[in-house]
Chains A and B, each alone.
Chain A
Amino acid sequence: MLKLAWRNIWRHPRRTLLTLLAIAFASAVLVFFIGLQLSSYDATINATISIFNGALQIQKEGYHDSPQMRLTLDDSNKLLEEVRKVEGVRAAAPRAVGFALLSSGSRTYGAQVVGVEPEVEAQVSTIPGLVKRGRYFQRSDELGVVIGEDLARNLKVSLGDELTLLGQGMEGSMAATVLPVVGIFSSGSEELDRLMAQLPLDTFRETFSMRGSIHSIVISVDRVADVEDIEKRIVDSELLDPNQVVLRWDELIPGIKQMIELDMSSGWFFYSTLIMIVAFSVVNTFFMAVLERTREFCVMLSLGMRPGYLCRTVILESVMLVAGGIIAGMLLGALIILYFGKVGFSVPGMEEMARQFNLPGAIYPRVSLRALTDGPSVIFLTSLFAVLFPATRVWRLNPIEGIRQV
């Protein structure tokens, strides 16, 4: 059967080559674009989580949904040390978070006030490196505040100006202090730049009566793709109290995942058009083959070949042709990815736009199993489905109608 199928494929070399090229081209395009898409998602996720949220956070249960001051992690130093030892964890930093009114001489704005440990914050967040004016903190007990540039503009403050902070402490006490602006950051995230003020952790604790408590441990990891394994390791290591939870980046910022899913869906809309064109090409090839070989098929049926066997021969021909095209397309797509993985892929205007959102200016796609198989497997299945149409025609053939006579 294999020999017969192989020779039949090459009965019309030009037609076969054209179909092969169409399948290979579509497969290569899908492999490259899906590879590019997946790599751009990785870059987006990395850039987004590295600004502030981290890949994982340990919090008190319920804090993420309802961030109340009293939902704290107590005696967190030991937990921090242990978490830093977990395989795949790059760094872990403590944070405390409150909400307060910030007043300059003439204006008052609400802000999210975050207490950070300056020595480790830069390992989980890019904000310390995004300070455009002034400087970031140097010590945990320093008296000062770093604010987003939009907040600074709204409050009409500049470096050295004093801000009055007024909020509610952990036990319902008044949280009030006056701090000088030591730095102004620009993260590219409108929300952070407009709402965030950072304080050194000790200063925060004192202001908000937090004593030694924090609200979260922010964790950065070596590879975002391993985040589920690292989460499992932390949970399995029994470091956490029963009322403490580990949240992944997609739980902390569900919007990114939704955006990726939406983008993937719209991508598949484009891909499916391409796949349909290929499927039509395959149907055309095999429909023509079946039509021109009707007499031959009828002879085979007359000689005693079972209709099912004949159908399988036609399907085997299509499998060989489609598989050949797909393998060639996968190789070509992988080569294109490898090339752009070295030189980077960008379109005009992309770098400037990416910079605004703190994203890399070019995408460096990587060859991955998903990039190699997602598109080609859909082409393969669609083509096989498409070839069922000519194959069923073979199944229904009446030998005497095909050959007219014995």
Chain B
Amino acid sequence: MARVPFGAGGGLIKNLSDNSKHPTIICESVERLYQQGDVTVHALAGVSLTIECGEFVSLCGPSGSGKTTLLNCVAGLDIPTSGEVYLIGNKISSMSKTELADLRLNNVGFVFQAYNLVPVLSAQENVEFVMELQGMSKKLRGEKARSVLREVGLEGMEHRRPAELSGGQQQRVAVARAIASEPQLVLADEPTANLDSKTSASLMDIMRKMNEDHGITFVFSTHDQLVMDRARRLVRMHDGLIESDEIQS
């Protein structure tokens, strides 16, 4: 799927397929063991998974099934005990802390359960944050941020601080922050967990639209049926293993 970046007009088509010649995510027999006192916990017990560019994937399963651990390993925030993770062709285990930071900065967007916006920055500044780290000019990132905020329905709220926004609005800012820099991949952990069903549905529609319009790969963990229903691919996990992996119509 060709990816369409955000711009002042929002319609400029840029072929980013160079980066998409690799699958976005490859997990090969990923194991993650934790030591909790004397007990060894198998958070991931040998997960193999490939996610292609442009997919809209939901990881679902009960608490403790390994969804969050898998997302952490995919993002390079956690290191598997064994197995390999390739993120956009990069072998994560061979990368330094700084290289991983750069890889995330330029290729991965995050949506957190608890929004996690920077409280001292306005909605627009939060959206600009990643682009500023990328070194984008003030003018361009301002245009992009306003454009994305418009797409997520927050026009007119650009200068509000997180404390002045509702939970749903904050999460939409978080989605805008995640996608404004045009990452290949957005990882979202329980993005609707703190939202009511109406707001959740609206947020999922926005993410689905971003996926369809801009070709961004979305992977989110959830146990919200509404989110699962909207996913095109549903990966069910249980006890650190993939139980089923199915494409939904």
Contact = CB atoms under 8 A, between A and B. Distances in A.
Nearest to A399: B77
Interface in A273-319: 295-296, 299-309
A190 B106 CA distance: 80
Contacts of B97: 307
A7 B120 contact: yes
B129 A303 contact: yes
Nearest to B183: A304
B120 A406 contact: no
B105 A304 contact: yes
Most chain B CB inside 10 Å of its own CB: which residue of A4, A8, A308? A4
A406 B75 contact: yes
B118 A306 contact: no
A403 B112 contact: yes
A4 B120 contact: yes
B108 to A, nearest CB: 7
Interface string B101-130: 111111010101100101111000100011
Contact of A302 (B110, B118, B119, B121): B110
B98 A306 contact: yes
A277 B119 CA distance: 31
A400 B98 contact: no
Given A11-B120, A405-B68, A306 B101 contact: yes
B182 interface: no
Contacts of B78: 400
Report the contact-size class of chain B (Cβ under 8 Å from the partner).
20 to 34
Contacts of B116: 295-296, 299, 403
Nearest to B102: A304
B31 interface: no
B105 A305 contact: yes
A4 B104 contact: no
Contacts of B105: 303-305
B189 A296 contact: no
B247 interface: no
A296 B121 CA distance: 12
A154 B16 CA distance: 105
A299 B125 CA distance: 15
B154 interface: no
B72 A300 contact: no
B133 A296 contact: no
B190 interface: yes
Contacts of A302: 75, 77, 104, 110
B102 A406 contact: no
A61 B148 CA distance: 85
A299 B112 contact: yes
A306 B112 CA distance: 19
Contacts of A3: 125
A399 B113 CA distance: 15
B47 to A, nearest CB: 15
B101 A296 contact: no
Contacts of A301: 101
B179 interface: no
Contacts of B77: 302, 399-400, 406
A282 to B, nearest CB: 20
B71 interface: yes
A317 to B, nearest CB: 11
Interface string A1-17: 00110011001000000
Interface of A: 3-4, 7-8, 11, 295-296, 299-309, 399-400, 403, 405-406
5 contacts: A8-B120, A11-B120, A302-B77, A400-B77, A400-B78
Interface of B: 68, 71-72, 75, 77-78, 97-98, 101-106, 108, 110, 112-113, 116, 118-121, 125, 129-130, 133, 177, 187-190, 221
Given A7-B121, A299-B118, A406-B71, 14 more contacts: A4-B118, A4-B120, A8-B120, A300-B118, A302-B104, A304-B108, A304-B130, A306-B101, A308-B98, A399-B77, A400-B77, A405-B189, A406-B68, A406-B77
The 8 closest A-B pairs by CB, nearest first: A304-B105, A7-B120, A304-B104, A406-B189, A299-B116, A406-B71, A405-B68, A405-B189
